[in-house]
Each structure stands twice: as structure tokens, then as C-alpha cells.
Chains A and B, each alone.
Chain A
Amino acid sequence: MPAILQVKNLKTHFFTDAGVVKAVDGVSFDVQAGETLAIVGESGSGKSITALSILGLIPSPPGEIIDGEVIFDGRDLLELSDEEVREVRGNQIAMIFQEPMTSLNPVLTIGEQVAEPIEVHKNLPRDAAMARCVELLAKVQISDGENRARDYPHQFSGGMRQRVMIAMALSCSPKLIISDEPTTALDVTVQAQVLELLKELTQEQGAAQILITHDLGVVARYADHVNVMYAGRIVESGTAISIYDDPRHPYTIGLMASIPNLDDDVKEKLIPIEGQPPNLAKLPPGCPFRPRCRHAIDRCAVERPELETVADEHKKACWIDVNGQ
């Protein structure tokens, strides 16, 4: 399968008073057509900044993409003018944000907001765009679309707003949808509805998805491939099955051991990862996970490991050979 998106050595740094924050520091990955790639990590791991960098949405200053390529459809998005990027964004690449409360405009009707990308990108007249909007609302299971399109965001519940976001994202039949923690603000039963809908509709359109999340359960249910991020880099990547069956990076292994599983019958003690996530403005030399790592050796303190292949498609960035079992 051809890769529809190739990210190569992406570096996004923020120049702040407290120093240079290397939020994304040399990230490379491919997204294949039709697949769901999950990017997992804790707050500050760089997963959201990776997404915003792809879309050209990094606030500058203080942020700056200092290196790398984002190849989409044969073009490097980082080389395009603002105008050219706007043609891709919302059209061929769509984004669904975490907060359905703040990512919808409170003074525009739902219809106006869903119709906007269609008008802008497809040059459809208002009524045609509105008709398409009603269709899209039906697709995301909002009934009575004609009337609901005249409502404002505050008249919708959290789950419905996130459906509206999905309708907007799908409106121009994108090839790639980036969802950043799309269900973190929602209740579990609603989360299941929204993620299922997102999966069905992306599959129906043959779109690829980048799913950014901290929830290892969501990853297990929906992802084909997984990138685990820590302190601005990918520390492990592979197919979902290989990552869960045979995690190789101490951080991934640690995460798996630290979360309670719903299906654990015996109350086994959780094994936490000691310490705190690092301060990105003051990263230690060597591997950033070293201060929290049980397996660290001298080399980890001086040299930062690069991502290396351990098996087909499975890569890790670690000097030592640790096994999850």
C-alpha cells in the first residue's frame, strides 16, 4: 500500500523565556492509505504538536518548525505557501479536535459551520452546500438535520457536537483525518458511539486516520499501527498487535503494566512508572526516559538512542534489549 503521508525528521521547537522547548524533535513515520495510525503518549510527549505541525497550525512565534518534511500527495506541505496549505487543510486533510465546546463557533449555526468548508473548497453555492450539510448530519446520525442545522452549538450535547465536528471533517471527503483526543471530554458510552462512527465513516470513504490519544484501550480497539511518543520523539512503533504482544521499549512496557485492565480478575498490584514526565525545556542528555527507567545503563546517560528495527515493522529507540514478558 502506498503511504499517503510521510513525515520525515520533523522538528518543532518553541522558543520561550524558559529556554527552547523541543516539543517535537526528529519524528518520522508514514501513514498508509485506509489505515488508522494511533499516536500514544502522555501530556507533553509531542503528540498534538506533531498533528498541528502537519496541518501548519503551529503558532509562530513562539513555535517554529525548524526541520523536516511532511510529504502529502507528492508535495512537501512545509514548503507550501499559506494559501496553498489552506487548500489542503479542511479539504484533503481534516482535523477533529478534543474540545467540541471550544472548536465550534458559538455565534454561527451548526449548518453554517458544516457548510463552510464545502463552500470554500468545493465552490458550491449556499443552498447546495446546505443540502449537503443536511446529508452529512444524517450520516453522523443527527436526525431532523434540516431543523438542527439552524441550531447553535450550545443547543447540542457534547457527543452531538463531536458528531458535528466529524460531519465537518468529512464534508470534503478528505484522504486523511487527524483526530486529537476526539473523545476525551465525553462519557464512555458516548465515546464508544463516536469512535465507532468515526471508524465506519473513514472506512466508507477509504480515508486514513491519525488518532491521537493517551488511552491504550482506545488504541487497542481501533488502531492498525501505533507510534508511542515520549519527550518529543517516537520511542516505539509497530503494528498494534506487535506493540501489545511484545512491547520492547521500557516506557511502553511500563505503561502497559501501570494501567488497570477491566478484565483483570485478580487484583494484582499495578507497577507504576516512577518519577515524572520530563521538563522539555531542560531535557537531560542521552535518553530522556533514563531517569525513570529500571534498565538504564551508562550509555543511556550520554547517547540518545535512535529508532531501530527489531522485527518487521516493529521499531524501538532503546540501547538495551528488554522484553515485555
Chain B
Amino acid sequence: MSTGNEERILEVRDLKVHFPVAKGILFKRHIGDIKAVDGISFHAHRGETVGLVGESGCGKSTTGLAILRMLPVTAGEIIFEGENIANYTKTEMRSVRRRMQMIYQDPFGSLNPRMSIATIVGEPLVVHDMAGSRAEFDERIAELLEIVGLDPAMRGRYPHEFSGGQRQRIGIARALAVNPDFIVCDEPVSALDVSIQAQVINILEELQERLGLTYLFIAHDLAVVRHISDRIVVMYLGKIVESASRLDLYHEPKHPYTKALLAAVPIPNPRAEAAREHIFLEGEVPSPLNPPSGCHFHPRCPYVTDRCRTEEPEIKQAANGHSVACHLFD
């Protein structure tokens, strides 16, 4: 799906999203920050899919929300179609939001149960003054439902009448209503049954081809991310540890965390599984309130050295846009 287009529709530079933590009831003291996203930089070319993977607490969803400015940005730049929107006011964001939309994880919680499908899908049109006449509005709703594979006759129905997969299609139709260029997909298939996931993934791929969309695809399922993405960014505790093309990341993973993450994902083929090297990490992802010193991954890393405990590795560019943050590759 890569178009070979080198135009950067999105460029994130040194993005930080910190959440202050306060203690005490009457006199709240600021005791620290959760550095959910702590200085990450990456970009997306127009028409491509950038996958963002990592385990819970790595900051992948926070990144998605911050790019859409649905969370306050602590520092850094978010350059979207040439404008730095990191400090835009609410009014300034309105026109940008038409061009960047979001598809959520939970197909049950993200649709208002009291609104009909037509109202849900049409709401962005109303908000952005794109509704036009009644007839135009109706026509647009029918068109949107059709492109996500739903029967436009269902427009008057309510969310509870739909299955998980169909609701996710409604969420996609809503995101597409205002003709966005860029969509953040936050775990769009992880709540769906296995046989339904492929339906939704295929719709996302078809729409991308047809409409030239750019996706930031956030998920914890590496097999799904690798399937849909052109490039993949791996996060761990608020930092990017590695980013590479989908081929390089799988065949030449550099960071020990990426290797372990890949090894942890079982392949649905018993013969391939038996032949694979299995790497098991110790422990779990530490609390982002009190991340380990030096390289955040050092307590779980099989190749840890003294330097890793004290000095944080910088992210370094290698060939083919493959970059890694690890002292082993200095």
C-alpha cells in the first residue's frame, strides 16, 4: 500500500505527554510525573500505514490521542500537513480536526446508544458545517454506510441492533464522514472475534487504497500490525526503541525488546513454531511513574551492561530508515 510518496503528512518531533501525580487530600503536592510519552519522534508519509506497537503502558494510545490534541501536549512539535498544531487553540484545532479522525477500540462504548446510526455517522458533518441540505446529508450517509459494507436501509437503527464487527464499521463510517486525510486507528480490531477481524482489516485496507488515507495504526497484536503497516514503530515505557519497515523489523530486529516481542507472538503453524527460537523475558513492564534508570528496558534485557543502567541510549538512524535506541548498536 506504500505509494512511494515522500511527502510527510505527519511529523512528530520530541513529543512529550506527562501526567502530573498529586498526593494529599487538602493540600495536594505534586510528587512526580507519569511520563506516558517521553520524547518521541516519528513521521508518516501520505498514503502509508505506520504501525505503533508495544505492551500496555508503553504510551501508544497516549501518542495517538496527543496527535489529535485530545490530550494536553507537554512539549514537542506535531507537524500536520505543514502546520505545527502542538499549541493550537481549540478554535484553531477545529479546522484541523476535519482532516484527522479517529477509530476507537471499543465498538460498544464508542457509539452513543441513544443515537441512530444516521445521527452518529452524520454528527461530524453537522459539527463541521458540512451537512448541506437534508437531501445531500441523507445521500452522504447512504454513501458512507455503503462504503463500509452496511446496508443504507439500516440508517434508522440503533447501535444495540448491531454486532461488534458491524459497530466497528459504523465507527469507520463516522471517521470517514468529513473526508479526512489521516486516521488514528486505536486497537480497531482487538475487541472483535477472530473471524470478524479480517473483515474490518480488509475494509481499512480497501478504503486506504481508494481514498489515499494515511493511518496511524495502534495495536498490541504484532501479527495484525505487521500485516497492515508499511513501517512499524515499537514503543516501550514512553520511548521509541526501534522503528523499521515491516520487512526489516521482522527479519532484522535489532533491539532486544523487539526481538523478544516478536518471539513472544506465537505463529499459527505448529511446524514453524517448533523450529523457532523462543526468548523469554523476565518480569513485566515497570510502572511508568518510576521507570528504571538508564535504558528503561535494562532490568528485563538479556544483554544488559553497566552502561545501560546509567546512560539512556539515543535513538540512532541506520540504513533504510531503520532506527534503534540501544547501546549494543553504538
Contact surface of A with B, Cβ cutoff 8 Å: 42-43, 157-160, 187-193, 196, 214-221, 223, 240-241, 244-245, 254-256, 258-265, 267, 269-274, 276-277
Greatest chain B CB density within 10 A among A189, A219, A256, A273 is at A189
Q: Rank and list the top 6 A-B pairs by shortest CB-CB distance, nearest first.
A: A217-B266, A260-B227, A272-B198, A187-B55, A258-B198, A270-B198
Name 12 interchain pairs, CB-CB below 8 A, sorted by A: A42-B193, A187-B55, A196-B280, A217-B223, A244-B268, A255-B194, A260-B224, A260-B226, A263-B269, A269-B202, A276-B163, A276-B165
Q: Contact between B195 and A258 (Cβ–Cβ < 8 Å)?
A: yes
Q: With contacts defined as CB atoms under 8 Å apart, how many contacts are there between chain A and chain B in the complex?
A: 135
B264 interface hit (Cβ, 8 Å) = yes
CB contacts (< 8 Å) of A215 on chain B: these are 266
Binding site for A on B (CB under 8 A): 1, 55-56, 163, 165-166, 193-199, 201-202, 205, 220, 222-224, 226-228, 246-247, 250, 260-273, 278, 280-281, 284-285
Residue of A nearest to B56 (CB): A187
- Specify which of A190, A214, A220, A271 is in contact with B193 (CB 8 Å cutoff): A214
State the Cβ distance, B61 to closest chain A Cβ, in Å.
14
Given known pairs A260-B227, A272-B199, the reply for A42 and B270 (CB within 8 Å) is no
Given contacts A42-B195, A193-B280, A220-B267, contact A188 B163 (CB under 8 A): no
Expressed in whole angstroms, the minimum distance between the Cβ of A196 and any Cβ of chain B is 6
B281 — which chain A residues lie within 8 A by C-beta? 189, 192-193
Chain B residue at minimum C-beta to C-beta distance from A271:
B198
**Chain B residues positioned under 8 Å from A157 (CB to CB):** 284
Residues of A within 8 A of B267 (CB): 217, 220-221, 261-263
Nearest Cβ distance between residue A104 and chain B, in whole angstroms? Answer: 17
A98 to chain B minimum Cβ distance, whole angstroms, is: 15
B194 touches A260 (CB 8 A): no
A188 to B278, CA, bound (A): 13
B195, A272: Cβ atoms under 8 Å? yes
A259-B223, A262-B267 known; 14 new pairs, CB 8 Å cut-off, are A42-B193, A160-B284, A188-B55, A189-B264, A216-B268, A220-B266, A220-B268, A244-B269, A260-B226, A262-B222, A262-B226, A269-B202, A269-B205, A276-B165
- Given A216-B194, A262-B226, A271-B198, residue A192 in contact with residue B263 (CB < 8 A): yes
Which B residue's beta carbon lies closest to that of A223? B270
Which chain A residues lie closer than 8 Å to B260 at the CB level? 189
A256 touching B268, Cβ below 8 Å: yes
Instruction: Identify the closest chain B residue to A224 (Cβ).
Output: B270
Chain B residues closer than 8 Å to A43, beta-carbon distance: 193
A269 to B201, CA, bound (A): 9
Q: Is the CB of B193 within 8 A of A188?
A: no
| Residue of chain A at shortest CB distance from B272 | A263
Q: Does B197 lie within 8 Å of A188, measured CB to CB?
A: no
CA A265 – CA B284 in complex, angstroms?
A: 30
**With a CB–CB cut-off of 8 A, which chain A residues contact B264?**
188-189, 191-192
Cβ–Cβ contact B268 & A259, under 8 A: yes
Chain B residues with Cβ below 8 Å from A245 are 271
The answer for the CA separation of A140 and B291 in the assembled complex, in Å, is: 25
A311 CB to closest chain B CB (Å) equals 16
Residues of B within 8 A of A260 (CB): 198, 201, 223-224, 226-228
Indicate if the CB atoms of A192 and B198 lie closer than 8 Å: no
Please name all residues of chain B whose beta carbon is closer than 8 Å to the beta carbon of A187 when the two chains form the complex: 55-56, 220, 284-285
> Known contacts A188-B222, A276-B165: does B198 contact A259 (CB below 8 Å)?
yes
Contacts of A255 in B (CB 8 A): 194-195
Contact A254 B195 (CB under 8 A): yes
CB nearest to B200 among chain A residues = A272
| B284 and A159 form a contact (CB under 8 A) | yes
Residues of A within 8 A of B163 (CB): 276
Q: What residue of chain B has the Cβ atom nearest to residue A42's Cβ? A: B193
Q: Shortest CB–CB separation between residue A262 and chain B, in angstroms?
A: 4
Closest to B203 in A: A272
Which residue from chain B places its CB closest to the CB of A43 in the assembled complex?
B193
The CA-CA distance from A258 to B226 in the complex, in Å, is 15
Interfacial chain B residues near A274, Cβ < 8 Å = 199
CA distance A157 to B57 in the complex (A): 13
Instruction: Tell me if A262 and B198 are in contact (CB < 8 A).
Output: no
Least CB distance from A43 to B in Å reads: 6
Once the chains bind, are B202 and A272 in contact (CB under 8 Å)? yes
Hey, which chain A residues are within 8 Å of B197, CB to CB? Answer: 258-259, 272
Kindly report which residue of chain A lies nearest to residue B55, judged by CB atoms.
Answer: A187
Query: Separation in Å of the A300 CB from the closest CB of chain B?
Result: 18
Nearest chain-A residue to B266 (Cβ)?
A217
How many angstroms between the C-alpha atoms of A68 and B250 in the bound complex? 48
Q: List, in ascending order, chain A residues with CB within 8 A of B223's CB.
A: 217, 259-262
A269 to B55, CA, bound (A): 26
A contact residues around B228 at 8 Å (CB): 260
